[in-house]
C-alpha cells in the first residue's frame, strides 16, 4: 500500500514478549508479521522482587531476533512497550537498559494508568462506537477502564495478572477465588457496567474465547468482536476455572504454555462479571499496541471509519476498478432509497463496505468467485465490524456472484445474521447483479444510469448511447430486483 513504510511494536509483558510488524501507520493497521514467546518475566517476581535470570535471558534473546526482523521488514519506526514485570522488578531498570542497547530505541515503560488508557484506545480503534468497560488481563495486572461518549474515562489497576495470581494463591483455585473477589470488591462501585458490554483484552482471555468457540461449534473462528452473553460467559468461565484444563473438551486448541494460566484467567473473568454485571463479554483482538499506534494518528485519521478504510484498501488491491466499486456505494444508496429500504447507521456502513469489496473475487474461476469471496470476507482481518456485519458483507457479495440462492451457503454463516440483515444482503446482491451487467466492472458508466419507478414497475434507465446494453440477461436481473422490491415488473428504458 502507498504511504509511510512498516512500523514495528515490541511488547514486553509479564508473561509474553511479542513483536508485531504492521504494514504502515494507518486507521486500519494490517499485520505483516506477528510472533511471541512466553518468557514469563513475571514468574517469581512477587516472592523475590526480581525477574528471574532464565526468563530475562530468554526475553533478551527474543528481542535480538525481533530487532533483526524489524530491520528486515524495512520498518521506519520501532516502538518498544514494557508493562508490569519491568515496572515492578528490582532489576527492571537493568533489563530495560539491556533492551535499549540491543535495539537502539528508548523503551516506553508504561504505568498502570498508561496500560488502561492504551487498552481502551485499542478497543476504540477496533470496535465501532464502543460504550462500556475495557478489561486488559496481563501476566502481572488487570486494568479496568471505562469508555463513555467516545472518550476514555476513569481506570483502575488490580494486582490480578495470571502469573501473579497463580503464585499468590500457591496454585490453589479456592485461594485464588478469595484473592480475586477481595481485590475486585471496589469495582462493584467503581466500574458499574449494567446493560453495557465488557470488552476483554489479553491473550489468556482470547484463549478462553477460542475454547468457547470450539466447544459451541461456532462457525466463524474470528476472535475480534466475538460476543458472548454475560450469563453464558460466567458459566463457562466458572467451569474452566474449576476443571483440570487437560480434561476439558477441545483443550488442544489452546497452546500448552497457555493452559496453566487458563483457569486463573477464567476465574478473574468470572469475578469481573459478578462484580460489574455487563450485558455481554466482547473479545477485542486490539489492545495496548494498537492503542499506542492509534494515539500517534492525527485527529483527522482517528476520526475515519476503520471498516471503510480496510475495505477501501482491499478494493484498491484486488478489484478490477477501485473507482467503479466506489460508484456502487452511491448507486446502491439511491437504489435502497427508491426501494423503500430503511437502514441504520451500521447497515449503511456495511452496505458501503460490501460495495467496495464486491469485485475482489474476479480473478478466481467463475464457479468459485462467490465461495471464495464469502470465505475471504467472513474471515478478513477487518475491524469496526461485528460478526453479524461480517455475515452481511460475505452474503451480499456471495449473492452478487452466485445468484439469490442459499443452497451453497453454510447455514451456520446465515445464522450469524438476523433476518433483517439477511434480507438487506440479498437485496444488495440483487442491486449489484444489475449494476455489474451494465458496467462490466468499468468506471464512469454507472453514474449515467438510474433506477426509477413507473406505476408498479421498476425501471432501469439507460442513455441512448448505451441502448445496446439492454439484453435479455440484464432484463431478467432487473425483473428479479423488481420482485425483491415488491414491484409487479421490471423494465429497461432507453432515453430518447
pLDDT digits (tens, 9 = 90+) for 230-268: 999 999 999 999 999 999 989 999 988 889 999 999 999
Q: Where in the chain is the domain with CATH 1.10.3210.10?
A: 306-447
pLDDT for position 415: 84
Q: Where in the chain is the domain with CATH 3.30.420.40?
A: 7-109
> What b/e sequence results for 280-304 when a residue is b if at least 16 CB atoms lie within 10 Å of its CB, and e otherwise?
bbbbbbbbbbbbbbbeebeeeeeeb
> Which triple of cell numbers denotes residue 316?
484498491
> Which triple of cell numbers denotes residue 357?
469489496
pLDDT for position 3: 67
pLDDT for position 413: 80
pTM: 0.92
Residues of the chain with pLDDT under 70: 1-3, 408, 410
Q: Where in the chain is the domain with CATH 3.30.420.150?
A: 113-290
Residues 6+ apart with CB under 8 A from 81: 9, 10, 11, 12, 107, 108, 110, 288, 289, 292
Burial class (CB in 10 A: 0-12, 13-18, 19+), 68: exposed
CA dihedral 403, 408, 412, 415 (to 10 degrees): 20
CA dist 212 and 350 (Å) reads: 27
- Match domain 7-109 to its CATH number in 3.30.70.1450, 3.10.330.20, 3.30.420.40, 3.90.228.20: 3.30.420.40
CA dist 283 and 211 (Å) reads: 13
pLDDT for position 411: 72
pLDDT for position 408: 64
Q: Which residues pair with 457 in a beta bridge?
A: 454, 489
Strands 450-454 and 457-462: antiparallel
Calculate ∠ Cα 178-180-183, nearest 5°: 105
Return the number of other C-beta atoms located less than 10 Å from residue 313's C-beta.
18
Annotate 334-376 with DSSP letters as a single string. HHHHHTT----HHHHHHHHHHHHTTTTTTTS-GGGHHHHHHHH
pLDDT for position 5: 87
What is the DSSP-derived secondary structure letter of residue 2? -
- Nearest partner of 119 among 298, 346, 289, 314, judged by Cα: 289
So what CATH class is 306-447? mainly alpha
Return the beta strands (E) in 47-164 as ranges. 77-82, 107-109, 132-137, 142-148, 151-158
CA dist 118 and 280 (Å) reads: 22
Radius of gyration for the chain, computed over Cα atoms and rounded to the nearest angstrom: 26
pLDDT for position 46: 84
> Which triple of cell numbers denotes residue 147?
469508555
Residues 6+ apart with CB under 8 A from 475: 490, 491, 492
The architecture of the domain spanning 113-290 is 2-Layer Sandwich (3.30)
Amino acid at each position: 500500500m502507498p504511504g509511510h513504510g512498516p512500523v514495528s511494536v515490541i511488547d514486553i509483558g509479564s508473561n509474553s514478549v511479542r513483536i508485531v510488524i504492521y504494514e504502515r501507520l494507518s486507521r486500519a493497521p494490517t499485520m505483516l508479521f506477528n510472533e511471541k514467546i512466553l518468557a514469563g518475566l513475571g514468574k517469581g517476581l512477587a516472592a523475590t522482587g526480581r525477574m528471574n535470570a532464565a526468563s530475562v535471558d530468554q526475553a533478551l534473546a527474543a528481542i535480538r531476533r525481533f530487532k533483526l526482523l524489524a530491520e528486515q521488514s524495512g520498518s521506519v519506526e520501532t516502538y518498544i512497550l514494557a508493562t508490569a514485570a519491568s515496572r515492578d522488578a528490582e532489576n527492571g531498570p537493568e533489563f530495560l537498559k539491556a533492551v535499549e542497547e540491543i535495539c537502539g530505541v528508548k523503551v516506553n515503560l508504561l504505568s498502570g494508568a498508561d496500560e488502561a488508557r492504551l487498552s481502551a484506545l485499542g478497543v476504540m480503534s477496533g470496535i465501532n462506537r464502543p460504550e462500556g468497560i475495557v478489561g486488559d488481563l496481563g501476566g502481572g495486572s488487570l486494568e479496568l477502564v471505562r469508555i463513555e461518549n467516545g472518550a476514555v474515562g476513569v481506570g483502575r489497576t488490580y494486582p490480578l495478572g495470571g502469573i501473579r495470581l497463580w503464585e499468590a494463591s500457591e496454585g490453589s483455585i479456592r485461594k485464588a477465588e478469595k484473592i480475586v473477589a477481595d481485590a475486585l470488591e471496589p469495582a462493584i462501585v467503581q466500574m458499574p457496567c449494567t446493560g453495557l458490554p465488557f470488552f476483554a483484552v489479553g491473550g489468556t482471555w482470547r484463549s478462553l474465547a477460542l475454547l468457547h468457540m470450539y466447544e459451541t461449534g461456532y462457525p466463524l473462528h474470528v476472535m475480534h468482536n466475538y460476543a458472548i452473553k454475560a450469563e453464558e460467559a460466567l458459566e463457562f468461565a466458572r467451569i474452566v476455572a474449576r476443571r483440570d484444563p487437560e480434561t476439558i473438551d477441545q483443550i488442544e486448541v489452546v497452546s500448552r504454555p497457555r493452559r496453566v494460566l487458563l483457569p486463573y484467567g477464567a476465574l478473574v473473568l468470572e469475578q469481573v462479571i459478578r462484580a460489574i454485571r455487563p450485558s455481554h463479554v466482547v473479545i477485542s483482538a486490539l489492545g495496548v499496541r494498537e492503542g499506542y499506534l492509534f494515539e500517534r494518528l492525527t485527529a483527522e485519521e482517528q476520526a475515519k471509519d476503520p471498516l471503510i478504510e480496510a475495505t477501501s484498501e482491499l478494493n484498491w488491491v484486488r478489484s478490477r476498478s477501485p473507482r467503479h466499486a466506489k460508484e456502487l456505494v452511491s448507486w446502491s444508496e439511491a437504489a435502497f432509497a427508491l426501494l423503500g429500504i430503511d437502514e441504520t447507521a451500521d447497515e449503511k456502513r456495511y452496505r458501503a463496505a460490501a460495495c467496495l469489496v464486491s469485485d475482489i473475487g474476479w480473478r478466481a474461476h467463475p464457479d468459485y468467485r462467490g465461495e471464495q469471496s464469502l470465505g475471504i470476507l467472513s474471515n478478513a482481518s477487518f475491524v469496526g465490524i461485528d460478526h453479524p456485519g461480517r455475515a452481511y458483507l460475505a452474503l451480499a457479495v456471495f449473492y452478487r456472484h452466485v445468484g439469490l440462492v442459499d443452497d451453497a451457503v453454510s447455514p451456520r454463516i446465515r445464522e450469524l445474521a438476523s433476518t433483517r440483515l439477511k434480507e438487506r444482503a440479498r437485496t444488495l446482491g440483487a442491486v449489484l447483479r444489475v449494476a455489474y451487467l451494465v458496467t462490466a466492472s468499468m468506471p464512469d458508466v454507472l453514474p449515467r444510469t438510474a433506477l426509477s419507478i413507473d406505476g408498479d414497475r421498476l425501471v432501469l434507465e439507460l442513455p441512448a448511447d448505451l441502448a445496446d446494453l439492454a439484453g435479455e440477461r440484464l432484463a431478467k436481473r432487473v425483473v428479479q430486483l423488481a420482485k425483491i422490491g415488491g414491484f409487479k415488473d421490471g423494465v429497461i428504458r432507453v432515453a430518447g
